[in-house]
Chains A and B, each alone.
Chain A
């Protein structure tokens, strides 16, 4: 199994642990991820406000590069996943838009035929690799742990056949496959506040508080995420949430690839577990102690 891979800025920067753990887990599963050359930022959600066409063309350049590999394009970051698919849908579905996008792309000497498929790595793990294969590699290191699956809002947008907009369940299934106890989690697709954290901090903190409160109420040992934006907001602002709401949250927020890595018994540091602002050290120590017993 082989895919073209678009890491996006976050996986090379603020969420390096997502990058490291993705690499480790895919290697363990024998799936090749071939990073596309000379990729650029996907434009994130900010660009659409400045230029609608720009926000479609900037990701399109990455799609054009990926198309040359003749492979499906694997994406880890939910924001990149959304912007790339939004661009692809506009290109395929709107002939007038497509003409504009083609000429803009031609200006940087590139051509796109609309043939690449954009896949989230969670979808690849569940549907291509398959849960039986994941189960086969997973030890019972996580069998006494409970985690809530937090998908965020972008993975199901624009509407796609992979993830339902209201209550998707692929991550639930994946976490169960590695032995975790996965309770019902009503806020699995609720917004984390995203960039509001910089402009309207109070509003964003209230949204994060809801997610943390439910995770706490469900008795989760940690929150599992699929998106760098969610990871940052839910993990880094726990102190501010506590100050604002009088709570005492201190719950690790891990990428699902890190969770898989732990289940596969990959060394924690190779999974970037030393890079967290809420340290998962307690979890790891407990896991080690249980292993000794």
Chain B
């Protein structure tokens, strides 16, 4: 269909007041009505709603409209909606064009005259472009029915079990020697005070023995290529030095190991051996040798663990393994790390031995932790008073401006445990605001208040030693007084922050990060599990700080996203691909090495390059490199783009 046959319908959306508050919508509509080829121009409050779409369908049927332009939001938002609308009315979906007058106009200025003028220019560009549109057909590609989950914390575990129990295969890759994540460190969980191990370890064990789950611990994803339905992933399985399947988990090896180093799992409070399982309920219950500290590896002699192993499972020769595997969808559930409070030296962490992080305190209260659950100072005495400081590194422009969300409740829980496990110490909480927003959270806060914990509304300013005790300084903003509270133990509730290597991981999976460094969701409210990369989903605290209930919910949500793709069995592939005109191709082969998807091959018989549309992603690199103009990107070809530019620029 050539340009003169185009019968264009233009629909300008108010988007409530989102657009209409800044852009003079009727003026844009009237302007559009006067443009060449436009047979109808309308405005409507919400074009994306059914009545809005019905306007389009009706005009296609009754007025013979064969090109449709909607001036509204970003195509990321509703292009699929309107394309479907065209299809339902019997028109090819690619006869549609969207002019973004919300994100690119209404939301970035308060100047109504300028906004209206720019909206008109964008509509004029679309009107100039759309006659050159060609009908394109979407293709489908099969989805590999296996899901990769990266990160074995509670969110990843939940996602894995949901998918596995639906009968589909899952690979769960965890960097640490055991799954369980941070939750495995906790003793009690808010608001119900049920024991973390009691509710988590059954799930961990289920993961370990589920026939549909392939568990790779002590492993990391190195590389991801391909696209939704067909990801090719390279995983490094680090040498454990203990043979899985041979080891019986008896534990003789680590009971005899002579090397002791601070335990990562106990956040430095306890010790572990060089051959170790991070905690007794580890899954898999197979020890790992830390080769950086093991004498066999550092000094070349020791060999005790190998000698004492009754199963003969210890293998010093084991090598890292590189595994390549295909997956249909990927769920990232890599969690968080905590702010290092020694970067805020006013709180004395690292200088005063009885200043702890909240994570250390969790280990202290844990019955299987380094103090077997007793809250005691380094000198072995029970504290008479404990201060719990909120917002260390969070809500602080010097460090992390956001609220870490879980710390208020974690602090209230810590207050309860500190009182219970220290034999009744006085507990002082220093808070800016109490944020106890979840189900049964406020009730739990009230309960702990009634237990006699002192809540002081004022951020802890500093901790300093005086007369052998730790003195917390703070401005009590309710009393309007500066207070100095002497205590024996200080717990710093530090910010939840993105992993130090979150940037590298984002690159591997081709996902974005938001300003705070966490992974960026497709929509903060309506698409919190999706990313901008199709087929890659988020779960848990890698997206933003989250407590256990929210992490579990998001884990299950991400599983639903993944299953939706797997059950559908195929994904729609955009027809926006490159096409090489055989008549114009000179056979120079310049484009072949430039194509990032190896989609172009040389046909020696015909002497021309050819594009495999199944592999082509429509990036346009070949088009830019083609000297003879033979390579063309469908839906973004030269005529279409030049017409659009001329339309926008015309005055």
Contacts and interface: CB of A to CB of B under 8 A. Distances in A.
Contacts of A184: 351
Counting contact residues on chain B (CB < 8 A from A), the size range is: under 10
Contacts of B466: 210
Interface in B319-364: 344-346, 348, 351
SS class, residues of chain A in contact with chain B? loop
A167 B351 CA distance: 11
B346 A166 contact: yes
Interface in A211-260: none
A210 B465 CA distance: 10
Interface in B4-61: none
A187 B345 CA distance: 12
Contacts of B235: none
A166 B344 contact: yes
Interface in A179-206: 184, 186-187
Nearest to B467: A213
A186 to B, nearest CB: 5
Contacts of B348: 186
A166 B345 contact: yes
A56 B344 CA distance: 31
Contact of A187 (B344, B351, B464): B464
A167 B345 CA distance: 7
A186 B344 contact: no
A210 B462 CA distance: 15
A182 to B, nearest CB: 14
Contacts of B344: 166
Nearest to A165: B346
Contacts of B465: 186
B461 to A, nearest CB: 11
Contacts of A187: 464
A184 B464 CA distance: 12
Nearest to B462: A166
Nearest to A159: B398
B219 to A, nearest CB: 40
Contacts of A186: 348, 351, 464-465
B470 to A, nearest CB: 11
Contacts of B351: 184, 186
Nearest to A184: B351
A238 B346 CA distance: 27
Interface string A159-171: 0000010110000
Contacts of A210: 466
Nearest to B343: A166
A166 B346 CA distance: 6
Nearest to A190: B464
Contacts of B345: 164, 166-167
Contacts of A167: 345-346
Interface in A127-182: 164, 166-167
A186 B348 CA distance: 9
Contacts of A164: 345
A241 to B, nearest CB: 16
Contacts of B464: 186-187
Interface in A255-271: none
Nearest to B352: A186
Nearest to A168: B345
B509 to A, nearest CB: 37
B142 to A, nearest CB: 58
Residue among A164, A167, A210 facing the most chain B CB atoms (10 A cut-off): A167
A184 B345 CA distance: 13
Interface in B345-385: 345-346, 348, 351
A166 B465 CA distance: 15
Interface string B455-478: 000000000111000000000000
Nearest to B347: A166
A259 to B, nearest CB: 24
Residue among A166, A184, A186, A210 facing the most chain B CB atoms (10 A cut-off): A186
Contacts of B346: 166-167
Residue among A166, A187, A210 facing the most chain B CB atoms (10 A cut-off): A166
B354 to A, nearest CB: 14
Interface in B456-512: 464-466
B453 to A, nearest CB: 27
A210 B466 CA distance: 8
B490 to A, nearest CB: 14
Nearest to A167: B345
Nearest to A186: B464
B36 to A, nearest CB: 50
A167 B462 CA distance: 12
B630 to A, nearest CB: 56
13 contacts: A164-B345, A166-B344, A166-B345, A166-B346, A167-B345, A167-B346, A184-B351, A186-B348, A186-B351, A186-B464, A186-B465, A187-B464, A210-B466
Interface of B: 344-346, 348, 351, 464-466
Given A167-B346, A186-B464, A187-B464, 6 more contacts: A166-B344, A167-B345, A186-B348, A186-B351, A186-B465, A210-B466
Q: Which 9 A-B pairs have the closest CB atoms?
A: A167-B345, A166-B345, A166-B346, A186-B464, A186-B465, A184-B351, A186-B351, A187-B464, A166-B344
